[in-house]
Structure 1
Amino acid sequence: MLTTLTVKHFTLVESLEVDFGVGMTALTGETGAGKSLVLDALAMALGDRADTDRIRQGQERAEVSALFDLTEIVAARQWLIDNDFAENGDEVLLRRLLTREGRSRGYINGQAATMQQLRELGEMLIDIHSQHEHQSLLRRETHHKILDSFAGCSELAGELRQIYQQWATTTQLLDKLENASDELNARRELLTFQLSELDELSLAEGELEQLEHQQQQLGNAEAILRDSGSLLQLCCEAEDFNLQDSLGKALQLLANMPGKPAELIEAENLLNSAAIEVAEASREIQQHLDKFELDPERLLQLETRLSAIYQLARKHRIDPPELTAKRLALQEELDNLAGGEGSIEKLRQQAATLSDQYLSLAENLTARRTAAATVFSALVEQQFSALSMDGTKFIPQLTPVKSGQLTANGMETIEFLITTNPGEPPRPLAKVASGGELSRISLAIQVIAANHSAVPTLVFDEVDVGIGGATADVVGKLLRQLGGQGQVICVTHLPQVAACAHHHLLVTKTTGEHSANSGIRSLSGADRTNEIARMLGGARTTDTSLSHAREMLQLGEQTA
């Protein structure tokens, strides 16, 4: 469930942190106070499109964070594991930043996330029923989930999707092998030729580095030989000046010097060490010169070998050190293709077995969906009557797919149709229902499906548009009933609905000389009574409206 929503520099909000609890939470406030900004901010955290005009005036960026408790949401915890997002105990934090330049960044548990990932995870956590993009009831794929959940066959539907994916993967590979034999043969020939080139090259591990080192040495052989001779002259062989003679003269001067102070004794020690080091260096240089040979033939061999390596690497469009890995990859592909002809029959058998398993599961699923659809329709229509939508018909339509066609959702498509007036043909919800109607239709469906719903948090906006009186009482009771089974957040302007809430949040707006700011505070006791009275009687609160408010709150608390 949603536990905390944090909003910074978003529309009218400077900084805001709201805590939510289990049950039904009502958000109320004066018109224009910003009641819907909570839902707008929440939708932004869930990956909805966000415009820069949502950033508070005078600020460079807006930020929204939503913290959810995942204790009871197994699917969401598994999604985090499957998508390699860091664990955060039984919680997950969704965060969204929007800059004035139009850049938008999303995060899940502190790790960068795409908007698609925010939306995917968000759909497991919360369902927003309003005129936002999160109106899942308008998406046909949601209709499968709702009906399957009501029918108690969600696991069966999941097993069917897994079998379908295996069948689809198998048939795709089979089609590729059957329809592309000429291409496969050509590919085999190319792979064989490429492998023969690499085998002929026979590049050993570490050979490239050795060859390049030797080439560098031999390529600079003349310069190395010349400079080595010069070094030897400087160290010991030059007649006019060399290091060994000079050090010897210096040491002789020091040796003949009587009564040397400590500093000169230390200098003599250092020069003795230097003379030893110069002598050893001279021997090393002489040994190098004695064994050093100019070898143009070897240099030619090295350059020929390196040229062959570089040319083959260019041919494969890789760096030379990657040739060994390339050979392994080509061999693996060739091995897979080599077994292609023999695996076609095996794949045919696998596809047939998976198809039989699919059909068995699909027939069972169809039967359970068909039986559940009738019961589901009747129960939803009962709720329609309670919500002053008498005569509205609800039809979960199951349409068989083409014979022999396998789909991920079974042997039928499912779409919720509705008629709001007698004599009209059933039509999809998106083409019939207005915003207010859709919220009430969604409410009716969710009340029936709530015991089976995997989405723990339901948000309703404008569920009470165009209703009042007894119908408003029913809406409030239904929302409280839903809240008793999970978490419901409702933006409302009706006191009958607000009085039924387990928690009450008041949205206020303060206007200064240069800016306005929206805030939210929790109401209880007399503050809540006053707010219900204000909703009943407008700006002027009377003893009568206060008495009526207290009565409504008492009745709301008695609602199961």
Structure 2
Amino acid sequence: MLQSLSIRNVILISKLDLTLDGGMTVLTGETGAGKSILLDALSLALGERANTSYIKPGADQASVTASFTISTDSYVYNLLEEQGIEQEDSLVLRRVINSDGKSKAFINDQGVSINFLSEVGEKLIEIHGQFDQLLKADTHLDYIDAFAGLTKDVEKVKALYAVWKNKEKFLKETEALQAQNTQNCEFLKYALEELSRVEPNKGEEQKLIEEREFLQNRAKIIEAVSSAMELLTHENGAEHFFAASYKQIEKAAVLAPHKFENLIGSFERIHVELSEVSSCLEEFLQEDDESLGKLQSIEDRLFMLRSLARKHGKTVDELADLQEELQEKLKLIEGGEDSLKVLKEELEVARAEYFDAATILSQKRSKAIKEIDISVNNELPPLKLEKAVFKTALEILSENDWGPKGIEHIEFLIQTNPGMPFGSISRIASGGERNRFMLALKVVLAHAGYVASLIFDEIDSGIGGAVASAVGERLRKLSNNLQIIAITHSPQVASYAQHHLHIEKGSLGEEVIIRVDRLDMIMRQEEVARMLAGETITNEARAAAATLLKVGA
């Protein structure tokens, strides 16, 4: 929910800090007091387009900061995670507009694009009449699914649709290959023959590079190994002196066997290891003689592999997989009608599985629609829409229009008077009627949206008395599940609020200022009385206000 709103230098507001509560809050005040400025400022924080006209005259920049508390399962967390924004206890949206016309957006003090700020804002709060998702027909199906708890069904249909379409795509690609059968066969056979001659292996390039480096350094390596061999085997080398030393110890051992028993064992082990070292060095030098012609062949092999990789737009390590892929394609083409027959059967199975799941989903949606239509139509008479009828149209689409969400199109429609055609709420209803239709829908679909906060701007326009009271009652009902903020001129609507803010325009010297006050119960009664009586507040108005507040409570 919206926790706080801080405004700096926006139009007539120099500085304003608001703390908001859950439940239902009303904002009242005289016409022109500045209520629309508050909404404009909040809209900026939610990603609305901005220009320098929002900056208070004489200021260099304007800024708006909106702080929200969100539940841990909120969809907003997914959006933040995708952008690498750390999740905190509260979510802070900030917008800054500079005098040069440039605008910056921040979420939790991390710079973001205006589009992303708007995307997040739409999931946090809905300002009725501005960002109202219910007016967009393409959202109606999502509301039905959320209302009926069909998330798993929708995900299943979406997954099966993807399988179906992938198989359809593969079949088309294979058919296209079949249509160019001769040409493709010749190309694939040539490419495979070329790859088969080379027989690339994964990891081969690195091995060749290492072997090439060895051969390129061969002279230095042979010099070092030869020197080591000479130091061991020369007539004055290590083996000669070791053998002489060994003979002397053997002489000593004859005179004192027990004293030299361990030492004789050590000499024997060293003798064996020296022999092994000599053999290894000699073997290495013999092998090297055999590798004298390898360097050129390695260079040739690397050149061939890399040339082939460039030709196919692959890395050397990917050539082996390419060979398998081309073999599969050639097999499919050479398989001809048999391969196509298998693919067509698989495609038909995938289509049938999607259609079955989508049909079950459609049936569940139809059941939910009946419940929604009955509930919404029950809400209309108290809102002075007794002649109006609400219905949800479900149209089964042609196969070409089936999609990941199913096989139907769903749209909310209304009829304002008997005999009149049904149409969309935004097209058919007048401003006042649309507000009340939307309120009825929101009451029924309270759990079926992303946002946790709703703002209604003068939803009471053009109504009064019992109808206004019905509007207030439904707003209060909505506030059991959502944060409701209502800007109103209706005392009946105001009486149902749990929290009451009063906005007033005044002056400080030559400067026009706007202030917002939180009203206690005594101040609320006086404000409701003013809304009832006008400029002159009578005792009768105060008594009527007290009655309204008692009913609203």
Q: 1-side partners of 2:185 and 2:452: how far apart?
A: 55
Conserved? CA contact 1:26–1:490, under 8 Å: yes
Counterparts in 2 of 1:527 and 1:47: CA distance versus 1, 3 Å: same
Is residue 28 from structure 1 mapped to residue 28 from structure 2 by the alignment?
yes
Which of 131, 134, 139 does residue 136 from structure 2 map onto?
Answer: 139
What is the match of residue 378 of structure 2? Answer: 382
Q: Map of 1:173-322 to 2, 5 A cutoff?
A: 173-179=170-176
What is the match of residue 68 of structure 2? Answer: 68
Q: 2-side partners of 1:329 and 1:509: how far apart?
A: 72
Q: 1-side partners of 2:405 and 2:111: how far apart?
A: 32
Counterparts in 2 of 1:436 and 1:169: CA distance versus 1, 3 Å: farther
Which of 145, 148, 153 does residue 145 from structure 2 map onto?
Answer: 148
Shift of 1:382: 1.8
What is the match of residue 466 of structure 1? Answer: 462
Q: Map of 1:471-490 to 2, 5 A cutoff?
A: 471-490=467-486
What is the match of residue 365 of structure 1? Answer: 361
Q: 2-side partners of 1:430 and 1:186: how far apart?
A: 61
Counterparts in 2 of 1:204 and 1:137: CA distance versus 1, 3 Å: same
Stretches of structure 1 that go unaligned for 5 or more consecutive residues are 212-304, 317-322
Q: 2-side partners of 1:510 and 1:184: how far apart?
A: 82
What is the match of residue 245 of structure 1? Answer: none
What does the per-residue CA deviation read over 1:337-381, in whole Å, with 9 as the maximum and x for residues that have no partner? 654465988876665454333212211121122222223222212
Conserved? CA contact 2:192–2:326, under 8 Å: no
Q: 2-side partners of 1:193 and 1:106: how far apart?
A: 58
What is the match of residue 57 of structure 1? Answer: 57
RMSD: 3.8
Q: 2-side partners of 1:544 and 1:42: how far apart?
A: 37
What is the match of residue 228 of structure 2? Answer: none
The letter for the 2-side match of 1:88 is: Q
SS class of match (1:149): helix
What does the per-residue CA deviation read over 1:494-550, in whole Å, with 9 as the maximum and x for residues that have no partner? 111111111111222223454323232322122222221221222222322222222
Q: 1-side partners of 2:123 and 2:398: how far apart?
A: 31
SS class of match (2:380): helix
What does the per-residue CA deviation read over 1:128-174, in whole Å, with 9 as the maximum and x for residues that have no partner? 212x2x12122112211222233332432243234334443453455
Q: 2-side partners of 1:456 and 1:502: how far apart?
A: 17
Counterparts in 2 of 1:380 and 1:179: CA distance versus 1, 3 Å: same
Conserved? CA contact 1:30–1:508, under 8 Å: yes
Counterparts in 2 of 1:160 and 1:203: CA distance versus 1, 3 Å: closer
Residues paired across the two proteins, number: 451
Counterparts in 2 of 1:180 and 1:492: CA distance versus 1, 3 Å: farther
Counterparts in 2 of 1:455 and 1:543: CA distance versus 1, 3 Å: same
Counterparts in 2 of 1:393 and 1:536: CA distance versus 1, 3 Å: same
Q: 2-side partners of 1:189 and 1:70: how far apart?
A: 60
Q: 1-side partners of 2:512 and 2:189: how far apart?
A: 74
Q: Which 10-residue stretch deviates more, 15-24 or 38-47?
A: 38-47
SS class of match (1:510): strand
Shift of 1:411: 1.2
Counterparts in 2 of 1:45 and 1:348: CA distance versus 1, 3 Å: farther
What is the match of residue 40 of structure 2? Answer: 40
Stretches of structure 2 that go unaligned for 5 or more consecutive residues are 214-299, 333-338
Q: 2-side partners of 1:109 and 1:169: how far apart?
A: 40
Q: 2-side partners of 1:496 and 1:385: how far apart?
A: 18
Q: Map of 1:544-555 to 2, 5 A cutoff?
A: 544-555=540-551
Which of 158, 161, 164 does residue 161 from structure 1 map onto?
Answer: 158
What is the match of residue 492 of structure 1? Answer: 488
Conserved? CA contact 2:63–2:94, under 8 Å: yes
What does the per-residue CA deviation read over 1:29-70, in whole Å, with 9 as the maximum and x for residues that have no partner? 111112123332222222222233122222233222222222
Conserved? CA contact 1:85–1:109, under 8 Å: no
Structure 2 length normalisation: TM-score?
0.71
What is the match of residue 6 of structure 1? Answer: 6
The letter for the 2-side match of 1:153 is: L
% identical equivalent positions: 32
Q: 2-side partners of 1:65 and 1:344: how far apart?
A: 60
